[in-house]
A and B are shown apart, each in its own frame.
Chain A
Amino acid sequence: MVRRSFWLKIVSALVLFGAWQVAGMIPVSYAFPTFLESMSALARMAADGTLFTAYLETLRPLVVGVAISAFLGIGLGLWIGLSSRFDWLFSPIFIVMQAAPLAALIPLLVMAYGIGLTSKVFVVCIMAMPVIVLNTAGAVRNTPASLKEMGRSFLASDPEIIVKIIVPAASPVIFSGLRLGVSAGFIGAVLAELKITPTGVGDIITYSRSIADYPAMYAAIFSIILLAVLFLNLLERLEVYLFEGNVRGYASD
């Protein structure tokens, strides 16, 4: 099973890269390099260290923002899900945040917090947090009543019901919120570097476009997608490790 899905992933990646290569060779646009050109640009930037210094810069707001969004988002989500009063108070804020056009907010953020790390962290949080909060709150609210009742009948205290029943029962949806939030956080981090100050990977993208080095530009974009995919896979591993029966249980029930 595991092996087959692994090979399927490889095959789908090969098909995608093949299509990219062909599209680049036609070419679809003079600004669209082939897959192999982009990969050699990636190798060049990795070899001369450009890529690593760039990621050192980009990862800072990303990691800080995603970490804040995950902890604060899950915490707030639990709180909102457990108390109908806070649901009424906070849910609308996050629904608005999720719908807000981020590009319009960036000038406001820059005005308030300058062009430094703080603004970029904010952008990542605005992108990542709402879906984490809303998913967590929804999942908590939908905990099967019979499981909570079972806990109470076997003398669980309220904190025990939260930790041993509500959180694990909500974990599949919390994790899917985390996955969506993290992907959005990656978008936020790059967006912040494109819109606020060109640093890190955003700088590579902006700079190589300005000198028409399209392979380098696509290489940078490719690398950030690759990193996001790797990170999401890691998150999936963590979920399987923490709640083994859950992951398989909900699929077949």
Chain B
Amino acid sequence: MVMPQIKEVVDVPGAQEADNAVVARGISKTYGSVEALKNLTLEFPRGQLTSLLGPSGCGKTTLLKIIAGLLQPTAGEVEVNGKPVTGPGSDRAFVFQDFALLPWANVLRNAAFGLELRGVAKSEREAIAEKYIAEVGLKGFEKAYPHELSGGMRQRVGLARALAVDADVLLMDEPFSAVDEQTRRKFQEDLLNLVKHENKTFIFVTHSIEEAVYVSDQIAILLPRPSRVSEIIRPADLRHKNVDNIRRDPEYLDIVDSIWASLRSYVE
């Protein structure tokens, strides 16, 4: 088994390391002859944001879907809050790369859809959905249909839907990859606020090094052939700095550089 080498960029003294919301142990997944993941082990500390970073095709989506219970691993197991995952559960909510909104339903129904499937009464679920629609900044768009919204707004609906079911763990698969750069930056700032104020564990897939360093408490770098976690980076010190200055911080730039150094050999 390839043990990930853990690089503490700045040591955080603390015992909260042991409290993991999600643990993936020895996960392997093969699609026919394609080996998407091989004996991958990774821990996701509670209340923190962990990024899965790596070139496309290295198995990030596969790992996220296995944690979500949407895919069965070929070997290994995932535990959420100490209980093994056998399928989708109410302790996890998914934010999709392509938004996965219902085109025939308005924003309100889309945001309330997770609650609708859980059998929450209409007036109650709409009240909850309205609250989260306002929280993601879409107040006034409750009656709009997805095709009337921009890509960024659609992803906010997807986020509201995931927040509305109040799961412990939020799984986000490249949620900002389909929105423009300005919107993306705003999203990243909003995400930092969410992590701070919502008491949830975030698992965030991205292929952008800058994005990962900007938003993460912990970055797991995944590499292909064979797919594994090659390195875990904790830019812990950055989290205490002012959001507005992070991108100019020498430490931020150093981490971005060192990640690029380890990834560049895999990019043709």
Binding site for B on A (CB under 8 A): 144, 146-147, 149-156, 160, 164-165, 168-169, 171, 243-246, 248-250, 252-253
Complex interface bits, B76-101 against A, C-beta within 8 A gives 1, otherwise 0 = 00000000000011101110101010
Specify which chain A residues have a CB less than 8 angstroms from the CB of B31 in the assembled complex: none
Q: In the docked arrangement, what's the CA distance between A244 and B145, Å?
A: 9
Main secondary structure of the interface of A (DSSP, over half): helix
Binding site for A on B (CB under 8 A): 65, 68-70, 88-90, 92-94, 96, 98, 100, 102-106, 113-114, 116-118, 145-147, 161, 165
Q: In the docked arrangement, what's the CA distance between A144 and B96, Å?
A: 13
Specify which chain A residues have a CB less than 8 angstroms from the CB of B116 in the assembled complex: 164
| Given known contacts A146-B98, A151-B117, A153-B68, A249 and B88 CB-to-CB distance under 8 angstroms | no
Interface-central residue, A144, A146, A153, A244, by most chain B CB under 10 Å: A153
Specify which chain A residues have a CB less than 8 angstroms from the CB of B105 in the assembled complex: 245
- Chain B: which residue is nearest A246 at the CB level? B104
B117/A249 in contact, CB under 8 A:
no
A-B residue pairs in contact (CB < 8 Å), sample of 22: A146-B96, A146-B100, A147-B100, A147-B102, A149-B65, A151-B117, A153-B92, A154-B88, A154-B117, A154-B118, A154-B165, A155-B89, A155-B117, A156-B117, A169-B102, A171-B104, A245-B104, A245-B146, A248-B145, A248-B147, A249-B103, A250-B103
A152/B165 in contact, CB under 8 A:
no
Choose among A144, A153, A164 the residue that contacts B70 (Cβ–Cβ < 8 A): A153
Specify which chain B residues have a CB less than 8 angstroms from the CB of A152 in the assembled complex: 70, 88
- Chain B: which residue is nearest A148 at the CB level? B100
Q: In the docked arrangement, what's the CA distance between A132 and B50, Å?
A: 49
B98/A249 in contact, CB under 8 A:
no
A244/B104 in contact, CB under 8 A:
yes
Main secondary structure of the interface of B (DSSP, over half): loop
- Chain A: which residue is nearest B158 at the CB level? A150
- Chain B: which residue is nearest A165 at the CB level? B102
B96/A150 in contact, CB under 8 A:
yes
A154/B93 in contact, CB under 8 A:
yes
CB distance from B21 to the nearest CB of A (A): 17
B113/A154 in contact, CB under 8 A:
yes
A168/B102 in contact, CB under 8 A:
yes
| Given known contacts A160-B117, A245-B105, A150 and B100 CB-to-CB distance under 8 angstroms | yes
